[in-house]
Structure 1
Amino acid sequence: MSTITVGQLSLDALDEPLHATTFVVVDLETTGSTSASDSITEIGAVKIRAGEVLGEFATLVDPGVPITPFVSVLTGITDRMVSTAPSIATVLPAFLEFAAGAVLVAHNAPFDVGFLKAACVRHDHPWPHPQVVDTAVLARRVLTRDEVPNCKLGTLAGFFTATTTPNHRALADARATVDVLHGLIGRLGTLGVHSLPELRGFTSRVTDAQRRKRHLADPLPHSPGVYVFADSTGSPLYVGTSKDLRSRVRQYFVASETRTRMGEMVGLAESVDSIVCAHALEAQVRELRLITSLKPRYNRRSKNGDRTVWLKLTREVFPRLSVVREVRSDGAHYFGPLRSTSQAEQVRDAIHDAVPLRQCTDRLLPGKPVRGACALAEIGRCHAPCEDRVDPAGYAELVARVVRAWQADVSELIEPLRHRLDQLAADQRYEDAAAVRDRIATLVRSCARMQSLGTLTRIAELVAARPDGGGGWELAVIRRGRLVGSEVAPRGVAPMPIVSSLVATAEAIPDTSDSATMATVEESEILLRWLQEPGVRLVATSDPWASPARGAARLRSWLASAEGARRSADPFADRRRLPVSHQPTRSTA
């Protein structure tokens, strides 16, 4: 740990207030990304004022835990390097003294400040609550995409010709951030930013044109609902939701709204329409439906479109798995919803690892071989119906095994994968084992999602109530996974007559077994989360709401531990804890 004095940089373009401000530019290296569980391995800081470097602070820190190989490769910091370094308990008071009275500057400041705050809590040091400037946020406000493709420190250091190249070491990255800060301050000077309050307030700067539009919020009620910004032609720009429509919309015209795209949107807006909703759940659902139908240009969700995909068992004598984007009423079995094509492909690969379904796209008929068997058949990964090695009845049992796993007992797919994982462990094939572990996790997660949604979308009608926090009840009628009615029973008013009226006037849903088409996946998931919140009560239901006794939901605890194993780069940490063969348990809502 050392403090040295170096030469001077020129900031003559700045006026006295910023010249008089002392900044401490800090960067940390850590064992991971979570301040609650990870530790600091290195601190680097540079103190500057008026363009002059007043001193530097640099030290390695013993984190008290092993440094993972990934972090060592990224930063170059190893367990051996920190073995003789001081602990954070020793380093923290020295750093706080070095930074006392200065404005703290960091690139992606929440990360560095979060770790410093966590260290103060652990070692009973009061956090000094310094003013903080984030160079990443400043860069997003000052620079355009034409100038830099992103606001990463390395990109900005190159753009401003920093004298130090960032290399994931604390002092080097802090020195590079100093040059980035100087470059940004120089750009800000041309925009009329000359003092510390102006510098910190620049990230939430609101134009006069935006302030003049505050009257657009005046007609809106203080009620939950959905708001729609529209331009001069009436075209929707942005759809949002709030528990208090007027208060939320007013935030778009004051400094509390800091998103650049929203400032641009407000500049184009000429009107704000609203839809008052009974409660927040209805507002969420209406927002989703409006974004889906209107596709406003400033809603990111509307730009992504519907990315839901499914795995389909094709309607053939010898079915195969196919990735599709919609569910049709064709009698085929569908697995999903899945969040992306890559996830669908990973689930498909896991199923192929567990069950020898054919993977070719040929049209096959019994007794009519089309060609010689492929390599998969030769290694036992396919029963080769193309050569009549399996009859339709035998192949149908393979298909039935997959369907049973989808709908009820996921262990039929997991058991073969677990055996493969054990074999890879014995052979010390670590990368292959990690891939199998991740396939198992994706398969379990996807089955759990499918089965949870299926339990809801199969119910013809479900009525639920949630306490509104004021002695009343928020009521919802759900049919086939779609919200069809919502109301509030205020405190002191009997809720059941309101429930009866709500059920009688709710949106009618066709009586069909194809429940997948009744609502979007996102809407059903919103409803499912709401139903699982504490305090929600089922008022009435036409069908039992129950999960499969041996369904994938029983493996959620294993999923959490598998994710921990993935992050720790240990492919075998949880293979023996996978509960495939234990007694079934019934899970009900």
Structure 2
Amino acid sequence: MPARNSQLSFDELGTPLRETTFVVFDLETTGGSAESDAITEIGAVKVRGGELLGEFTTLVDPQRGIPPEVVRLTGITQAMVHDAPTLDTVLPAFLEFAGDAVLVAHNAGFDTGFLRAACQQRGYPRPRSTVLCTVRLARRVLSKQDTPSCRLSALATLFNARVPTHRALDDARATVDVLHALLERVGAVGVHSLEELVDYLPERTPQQRRKRTLAKGLPEEPGVYLFRGPNNEVLYIGTANNLRRRVRQYFTASETRPRLREMVALATDVHAVPCAHSLEAEVRELRLLAAHRPPYNRRSKNPNRAWWLVLTEEAFPRLSVVKVPRDGALGPFRSQRAAHLAAEALQGASGLRACTQRIPAVGAAGRPCALAELDRCAAPCAGRQSVAEYAPAVQAITELITGTAASPLEALAAQLDQLSTEQRYEQAALRRDGLAALVRAVDRGQRLAALAALPELVAAQSDGAGGWRFAIARYGRLASAGVAERGVAPMPVVDALTAAAETVLPGPGPLRGAPPEEVGVLSRWLAKPGTRLVRSSWPWAEPAGAAGRWRGWLATATEARDRAMVLARD
């Protein structure tokens, strides 16, 4: 603190950054919704003037299941949180630790959203501290030449910071390093106090200011919004739990993406499509993206685009990569390359031929290829293998697709074990990653196909306030959606939704003609903890020999890969 009679310099007006206490925190959760998901871990670091003042870390019992994909990402299992304190105990301790310090988080909207929801649910006043987002600060300070991505891992690499691991305290420590590096850069442009930093972050364009009235009149409910241009063309489509609040954000300094600022400058109107709940909004967004193909959306403009593997119809079938599936196809794959890699793995594991020539059932007299010389093909093209001898390879692939057996996966796993035994670790890692990608693709395809096979499925989720959200799915498509608020009898609502639901006629292929992305959205919604099956045309089940039996192996393989990547960065 300066002496009483000394004069403050200009860079010390306000609260100097070197005297500001920051609490940098990170949350791990069961999902992305502050309303329906729960916190599983809190990690926080208190710093001032570059010095460590304290750390706070604890696992939290979410009092619900942790989805497998979250376990794979964070490594936090149900067993780890079984004896952990609940948020009722942890929250007041964290709020006491944070005090009135400036709260800092990477992508702060996510973490503070969970924090505000937790305070509201338990009757605590929402934190009034200044919140600083290192993503926003990085976008303000850094150029695309500095880093193409503002993800924490990318910034940690750029600044030689500690490595984030998707565990709360590790990520908070990495964010501390990133924060200090960014504050050094803003100091170079004359930002030395907390007040100057808060003023430095906003960068709202004149177009954003002028067009903020476009959000007026939009409903405060879930739905889809469409920005339209001067010729009524659709420029951009998105979803929101609160349409008015979400659209207003495009006209504030929080929207820093140049591409979307350009879109806002062109927009003349915003059209809203209210929806019953988030699932209907996601599905409607996919359908509208496919219909309008807006220029400012980067993803999902063609929800039907996918790649499949099919067995050709000939004496010696082979795997072919196609866009239009038929019954018995394997997929969907998100890219043509992924489909080709899966085909190569299955060919090596089953004995299917890789060549594309048509081979007659008898009398083949071609010249064997290099694969035959390497004992990787039995050369039916040269008449060295009969149709009967070739049939087991075809049967193995057919059984994998239908889920009655998984012998190709077992063969690949055996090859992986052999490579490890021979200490050929680099090849083993490549084989492990290839097998993991194949297991994910086959498992996803079988899950989606099982859902798309159902003529009708009715499911419900609690809205957290005593009411219910309903979805009617038919052949993998959302046919109807609605809600029964607290105090409303749910089954009459279900009956009304079912009666008014869209008629869906099944098409060809494993997904009965449904868009893969839409079936995927439905599958993820149905898999959320707490979802209840109201009724179904027949039991919704996966085949006993499906790739789902490999999920434990997949989790182990993914953990090994992630651990190797962390060690490689070190």
Query: Structure 1 residues 505 and 551, CA, compared in 2 at 3 Å: closer, same or farther?
Result: same
Counterpart in 1 of 2:235?
237
What SS class does the counterpart of residue 299 from structure 2 fall into?
helix
What do residues 99-139 of structure 1 show as CA deviations (whole Å, max 9, x unaligned)?
xx999999x899xx9xxxxxxxxxxxxxxx99897887545
Matching residue within 411, 415, 421 for 2:416: 421
Q: What are the within-5 Å matches in structure 2 for residues 433-448 of structure 1?
A: 433-448=428-443
Q: Name the CA distance, whole Å, in 2 between partners of 1:500 and 1:509.
A: 17
Counterpart in 2 of 1:140?
139
What SS class does the counterpart of residue 332 from structure 2 fall into?
strand
Query: Structure 1 residues 409 and 443, CA, compared in 2 at 3 Å: closer, same or farther?
Result: farther
Q: Return the letter of the residue paired with 2:321.
A: V
Matching residue within 403, 425, 434 for 2:398: 403
What do residues 341-378 of structure 1 show as CA deviations (whole Å, max 9, x unaligned)?
33323322221221111111112212342521123223
Q: Is the 8 A contact 1:138 1:184 kept in 2?
A: no
What SS class does the counterpart of residue 317 from structure 2 fall into?
coil
Q: Return the letter of the residue paired with 2:18.
A: T
What do residues 372-412 of structure 1 show as CA deviations (whole Å, max 9, x unaligned)?
11232233321211012222233233112111012214531
Q: Name the CA distance, whole Å, in 2 between partners of 1:270 and 1:177.
A: 38
Counterpart in 1 of 2:324?
327
Greater CA drift, 223-232 or 515-524: 515-524
What SS class does the counterpart of residue 526 from structure 1 fall into?
helix
What do residues 276-302 of structure 1 show as CA deviations (whole Å, max 9, x unaligned)?
112221111101211222222222215
Q: Return the letter of the residue paired with 1:398.
A: A
Q: Is the 8 A contact 2:448 2:511 kept in 1?
A: no
Counterpart in 2 of 1:219?
217
What SS class does the counterpart of residue 507 from structure 1 fall into?
coil
Greater CA drift, 507-516 or 554-563: 507-516
Matching residue within 521, 525, 532 for 1:530: 525
Q: Aligned pair 1:486/2:481, yes or no? A: yes
Counterpart in 1 of 2:244?
246
Q: Is the 8 A contact 2:224 2:240 kept in 1?
A: yes
Query: Structure 1 residues 105 and 521, CA, compared in 2 at 3 Å: closer, same or farther?
Result: closer
Q: Return the letter of the residue paired with 1:22.
A: R
Q: Return the letter of the residue paired with 2:362.
A: G
Q: Name the CA distance, whole Å, in 1 between partners of 2:470 and 2:107.
A: 43
Matching residue within 264, 269, 272 for 1:271: 269
Q: What are the within-5 Å matches in structure 2 for residues 62-211 of structure 1?
A: 137-138=136-137, 140-141=139-140, 145=144, 196-211=194-209
Q: Name the CA distance, whole Å, in 2 between partners of 1:508 and 1:290.
A: 19
What do residues 209-253 of structure 1 show as CA deviations (whole Å, max 9, x unaligned)?
423323222211122211111122212222121222222222322
Counterpart in 2 of 1:22?
18
Q: Name the CA distance, whole Å, in 1 between partners of 2:523 and 2:436.
A: 22
What do residues 410-443 of structure 1 show as CA deviations (whole Å, max 9, x unaligned)?
5311222232223222221111222222222222
The TM-score with structure 2 as length reference comes to 0.69
Counterpart in 2 of 1:80?
none
Q: Is the 8 A contact 1:356 1:380 kept in 2?
A: no
Q: What are the within-5 Å matches in structure 2 for residues 5-20 of structure 1?
A: 17=13
Q: Is the 8 A contact 2:17 2:49 kept in 1?
A: no
What do residues 128-164 of structure 1 show as CA deviations (whole Å, max 9, x unaligned)?
x9989788754533666589867799x99xxxxxxxx
Point out where structure 2 has 5 or more consecutive residues left out of the alignment: 1-8, 23-39, 53-99, 112-127, 164-175, 566-570
Q: Aligned pair 1:280/2:278, yes or no? A: yes
Deviation at 1:327, TM superposition (A): 2.2
Deviation at 1:197, TM superposition (A): 2.6
Q: CA RMSD in A?
A: 4.8
Query: Structure 1 residues 558 and 218, CA, compared in 2 at 3 Å: closer, same or farther?
Result: same
Q: Name the CA distance, whole Å, in 1 between partners of 2:299 and 2:346.
A: 31
Matching residue within 373, 377, 381 for 2:372: 377
Matching residue within 389, 405, 411 for 1:394: 389
Deviation at 1:515, TM superposition (A): 5.2
What SS class does the counterpart of residue 538 from structure 1 fall into?
strand
Q: Is the 8 A contact 2:325 2:510 kept in 1?
A: no
Deviation at 1:484, TM superposition (A): 1.0
Counterpart in 1 of 2:312?
314
Query: Structure 1 residues 197 and 540, CA, compared in 2 at 3 Å: closer, same or farther?
Result: same
Query: Structure 1 residues 390 and 244, CA, compared in 2 at 3 Å: closer, same or farther?
Result: same
Q: Is the 8 A contact 1:222 1:245 kept in 2?
A: yes
Identity %: 46
Q: Return the letter of the residue paired with 1:296.
A: P
Deviation at 1:21, TM superposition (A): 4.8
The TM-score with structure 1 as length reference comes to 0.67
Counterpart in 1 of 2:171?
none
Between 1 and 2, higher relative CO (CA 8 Å, sep ≥ 6) is seen in 2
What SS class does the counterpart of residue 310 from structure 1 fall into?
strand
Q: Name the CA distance, whole Å, in 2 between partners of 1:503 and 1:180.
A: 55
